[in-house]
Chains A and B, each alone.
Chain A
Amino acid sequence: MSANMDHLTAGPPAAEATFQELLTPLLGSAYGAALHMTRNREDAEDVVQETMLRAFRSFATYQPGTHFKAWFFRILTNCCISRHRSRRDEVTMSELEDGPQLYLYRKGRELSVLPDGPDPALSTLGRLEAEQVASALQALPDEFRVVATLYFVEDLRYQDIAAALDLPIGTVRSRLHRARRILQVKLWQVAEDNGLVRGRSHREKANP
C-alpha cells in the first residue's frame, strides 16, 4: 500500500488536482459501465470506488496527454473482471441466440407496416425504458457485454477498447459486431416480454 502511494507525497499538488479534473466528468458513465458489467447496483458502486482509488494510486503511471478515459476504463474493466472471476457467468454460449444482421429490421417487416408510417421496430425500441434496454445489454455474456458497454456507454473507438481490454483490435471488432446482433435479439425479447409486441410473452410466461 505505502509503496503504491509513494509518488503521491513526491508529486506536485497540481498533478493531484489534475486527476480530479480528469476523473469528475467520467464518474457518471463509469457507474453506468460498472452497472452493466456487474449487473448489480451495489457491486457497481464498489467497482467505481475501487477503480477511483486504484487510478489515484497509480496516477504516476498515467502518461499525460494520452487517452485518460481509455486508461481509466482499463482499470475499471480489470476491477470488474477480478471481482467476477470467481463467479460463473450464468449465460452460456450454447444458450445464445445469435441473430442475423438486421434482426430488428426483419422483425419490423414481419409486423404490419403502413406505407409511410413509422418503422414498427424502431417505434418499439423507442418505447422501451432505459432500464429495459440496460437489461438486454446485461443479458449478454461477459466477453460481449464488456466490449458492448465500452462501445455504447463510453463511446470508445475500437482501438481504445482494445487498449482498455488488452485485446487485439480484430477480436474487439468481431466481438462487438456479434454483440450487436445478440443485443438486437435480446431487445426484441424484452419488448415481447413487456407486451410491446405480440410474441412469446404472456401465454408462454403463464404456461412455461
Chain B
Amino acid sequence: MSTMTQYTCEEAFRRLDDYLDRELAPEEMHLVREHLQGCEMCAHEFSFEEQVLQEVRTKLSRIEMPPDLRSRLLQLLDEERNSAGGAP
C-alpha cells in the first residue's frame, strides 16, 4: 500500500464506471476514493453519475408484470409438473 501514488483527475475519471459498480481492485477503489476526498469537482461528477444510475434503476424496477401473469405461470408450472409425473 505504501507504494501507491495518488490518482490525477484523469486517472480517477477513467475509472468512473468501474468505481461506481465496485468492479475495481481494492487498491484502485482506495485510490479513487482518496482522490474524491480531495477533489470537489470530481466528487460532484461521480455523485451525479451515481444518482443517474440509481434513478434509472429505481424507475425501471417500477415496471410491473400483468396482475394475472404470476398465477397463470404458476398454474402452468403445476400442469407441467403433473404431466411429467412428478408430485402434484
Which residue on A lies nearest to B20, using beta carbons?
A180
- Known: A53-B80, A173-B18. Is A130-B49 also a contact (CB below 8 A)? no
| Assembly CA distance A82 to B45 (angstroms) | 40
* A105 pairs with B73, CB closer than 8 A: no
**Separation of A199 and B10 alpha carbons in the complex (Å):** 31
Proximity string of chain A (51-78) to chain B, C-beta cutoff 8 Å, 1 when within and 0 when not = 0110011000000000000000000000
Check A122 against B69 for contact (C-beta < 8 Å).
Answer: no
Contacts between the two chains (Cβ within 8 Å), count: 111
Whether the Cβ atoms of B45 and A105 lie closer than 8 Å is yes
Chain A contacts with B in 17-76, Cβ cutoff 8 A: 20, 23-24, 27-29, 31-32, 35-36, 41, 45, 48-49, 52-53, 56-57
The contact of B55 among A5, A8, A36, A122, by CB within 8 Å, is A122
- Type the 1/0 row for B59-73, where 1 means its CB is closer than 8 Å to any CB of A: 111111110011001
For the residues of B in contact with A, the DSSP-based class is helix
Query: Do the beta carbons of A130 and B86 come within 8 Å of each other?
Result: no
> Contact: B52 with A122, CB < 8 Å?
yes
Stretch with Cβ within 8 A of B (4 or more), from A86-94, A150-158, A200-208: A150-158
Asked whether, in the complex, the Cβ of B81 is within 8 Å of the Cβ of A173, the reply is no
Q: Does B65 lie within 8 Å of A32, measured CB to CB? A: yes
A31-B69, A102-B49, A157-B23 known; A130-B62 Cβ under 8 A? yes
| Neighbouring A residues of B1 by C-beta, 8 Å | none
A-B contact pairs, 19 of them (CB 8 A): A5-B84, A8-B84, A28-B70, A31-B63, A31-B69, A32-B61, A41-B66, A45-B69, A48-B69, A53-B80, A56-B77, A133-B56, A134-B59, A137-B60, A153-B61, A176-B17, A177-B17, A183-B56, A187-B56
Query: Which B residues form the contact surface with A (CB < 8 A)?
Result: 13, 16-18, 21, 23, 45, 48-49, 51-53, 55-57, 59-66, 69-70, 73-74, 76-77, 80-81, 84-87
